[in-house]
Amino acid sequence: MKPKVFLTREIPPAVVAHLREHTELTMNSEDRVLTAAEVIAGLRGHDALLCNITDPIGAEIMDAVPGLRVIANFGVGFNNIDVAAATARKIPVTNTPGVLTEATADIAFALLLATARRLGEGERLVRSRQWTGWNPMQMLGADVTGATLGLLGFGRIGKAMAKRARAFDLKVIYWNRTRLSAAEEQSMEVTYRPFDEVVAASDFLSLHVAYNKDTHHLVSERQLSAMKSTAIIINTARGPVIDEKALVRALAARRIGGAGLDVFEKEPALEPELYTLDNAVVVPHLGSATIGTRTKMGMLAAQNLLAVCSGQRPPHCVNPQIYG
Ligand code: DGY
Beta strands per DSSP E along the chain: 4-7, 24-27, 48-52, 70-74, 93-94, 148-152, 171-175, 190-192, 204-207, 232-235, 258-261, 280-282
Is-catalytic flag, 313? no
Low-confidence ranges of the chain (pLDDT < 50): none
Nearest by Cα to 160 from 317, 296, 292, 287: 287
> How far, in Å, CA of 60 to CA of 131, rounded?
55
**Is the C-beta atom of 248 inside 6 A of ligand 1?**
no
Question: In whole angstroms, how far apart are CA 276 and each of 167, 264, 319?
Answer: 32, 15, 41
Say which CATH topology domain 4-99+291-323 has. Answer: Rossmann fold (3.40.50)
Predicted local distance difference test score (pLDDT) of residue 324: 87
Secondary structure letter of residue 7 according to DSSP: E
Angle, CA of 208, 217 and 88, to the nearest 5° = 80
Neighbours of 54 (CB within 10 A): 16
Q: Is the pTM of this model over 0.95?
A: yes
pLDDT of residue 84: 98
Which ligand 1 atom is the nearest neighbour of the CA of 286? 7
* C-beta neighbour count of 255 within 10 angstroms: 15
Nearest-angstrom CA–CA distance, 198 and 214:
18
Determine contact, residues 152/195, Cβ cutoff 8 Å: yes
Of all residues in the chain, what percent carry a pLDDT higher than 70? 100
Q: Coil, helix or strand for 260?
A: strand
Catalytic pick from 238, 244, 271, 316?
Answer: 238
Could you tell me if 282 and 261 are in contact, meaning their C-beta atoms sit under 8 angstroms apart?
yes
* C-beta 298 within 6 A of ligand 1: no
Query: Where in the chain are the domains?
Result: 4-99+291-323, 101-282
Mutate to test the pocket of ligand 1, among 51, 52, 53 (most ligand atoms within 8 A of CB): 53
* pLDDT score, position 24: 98
Ligand 1: distance of its center to the CA of 51 in Å?
Answer: 12
Domain 101-282 CATH assignment equals 3.40.50.720 = yes
69, 285, 294, 316: which is the annotated catalytic residue?
285
